[in-house]
Amino acid sequence: MRHARLFAAVSVLAFLAGCAGLQSGHVQIDRLSDCPKQTADELVAQQSRLGPLSDTHTLECALTVLRDSQDIALLRTSLGSRLCLHLAERETNPEKREKLAAEGVEFAEAALTHKVDEDGPVHYYLAANLGLAVREHITVAMKNLSRLESEMKQALALSPDIDDGGPMRLLGALYLKAPSWPNGIGDLDKALELLAKAVKEHPGHPLNHLFYAQALWSEDDEAVLTQVKAEFAQGEKLLDEGNWGYNKAAWQKEFDTFRQELRGAVSVGQ
């Protein structure tokens, strides 16, 4: 298989030995004096506007309110987990990134202890944060494979269309990049099915096309090379032309990495 796995092969002994869990402790937020005074009710009312187009300090200020809040109506939403994910994705310091993602997992777990408004988004952002928190640590990632799969499946069943097919995209990527049986849950056929569906039902998201191109490339079949190039080109076009806010830089790196992988075998621009 040509596409590099996210998780390297791990020996059974290493897997059984266990490993450390997620990062503990919260990332310190600076310039708190510059934050606007926000109540829990105000944050709930404006939560849909807090996302990839929001500047980092705005998200940090909102996260501070959540950290200090005991308001059940606020804590039972997916907002805390979503804020942590957006902040973690744009954080360049690995330790801070993992702490923010781990905090996002904590927010989602806490939300699920209450009667949440919608379970699907909470499971989705829990899974997304968990994947980000463990991706650089193979043994920790291996230990959490089953949970990652379970959370993504629940999100897919409850809210398949959130984040432009995010549950399909993340679960498909997990099956693509995880080690296959008996060491893991990797399954190229499942990955191809999910990612093809994500592209069909949500053709406007660049990562749907990128991940589908990666899955097709993993088939190691020259017959699908034209389709690989077409999906890659469509995804890059969408990324270039769309307003993806602070996500754009991180996603461009993923496109650049796959371009390098392809370069040895084919010119994507032909």
pLDDT digits (tens, 9 = 90+) for 214-246: 999 999 888 899 999 999 999 999 999 999 999
Domain-located, residue 140: yes
Domain-located, residue 107: yes
- Give the C-alpha separation, 240 to 201, whole Å: 21
Domain-located, residue 204: no
Whether the predicted pLDDT of 10 surpasses 50: no
> Residue 223, exposed/middle/buried by CB under 10 A (0-12, 13-18, 19+)?
exposed
Domain-located, residue 134: yes
Domain-located, residue 83: yes
Domain-located, residue 106: yes
Q: Which residue has the tokens 């004096």?
A: 33
126-184 per-position pLDDT tens digit: 999 999 998 888 888 888 899 999 999 999 999 999 999 999 999 999 999 999 888 88
Domain-located, residue 88: yes
Domain-located, residue 82: yes
Q: How many domains does the chain have?
A: 1
65 within 8 A of 96, measured Cβ to Cβ: no
64-122 per-position pLDDT tens digit: 999 989 888 888 889 999 999 999 999 999 999 999 999 999 999 999 998 766 789 99
- Give the C-alpha separation, 63 to 109, whole Å: 16
186 within 8 A of 180, measured Cβ to Cβ: yes
- Give the C-alpha separation, 169 to 159, whole Å: 13
Which pLDDT belongs to residue 19? 32
Which pLDDT belongs to residue 7? 39
Distance (Å) of CA 116 to CA 39, 78, 79, 137: 20, 8, 11, 31
3-class secondary structure, 138: helix
This prediction has a pTM of: 0.86
Which pLDDT belongs to residue 30? 85
Q: Which of 117, 211, 206 is nearest to 164 (CA)?
A: 206
Whether the predicted pLDDT of 269 surpasses 70: no
| Average pLDDT of span 192-213 | 98
- Give the C-alpha separation, 147 to 133, whole Å: 13
Boundaries of domain holding 110? 1-7+24-34+53-159
Higher-confidence position of 204 and 221: 204
> Residue 245, exposed/middle/buried by CB under 10 A (0-12, 13-18, 19+)?
middle
Cβ-based neighbours of 206, under 8 Å, separated by 6 or more: 235, 236, 238, 239, 242, 244, 251, 255
Which pLDDT belongs to residue 116? 65
Which pLDDT belongs to residue 1? 44
Which pLDDT belongs to residue 267? 53
Which pLDDT belongs to residue 118? 73
Q: How many helices (H) and strands (E) does the chain have?
A: 14, 0
For residue 186, the cross-strand partners are 180
Which pLDDT belongs to residue 136? 80
Among left, alpha and beta (phi > 0; psi -120 to 50; other), residue 25 is left
Q: 182: number of CA atoms within 13 Å, CB side?
A: 2
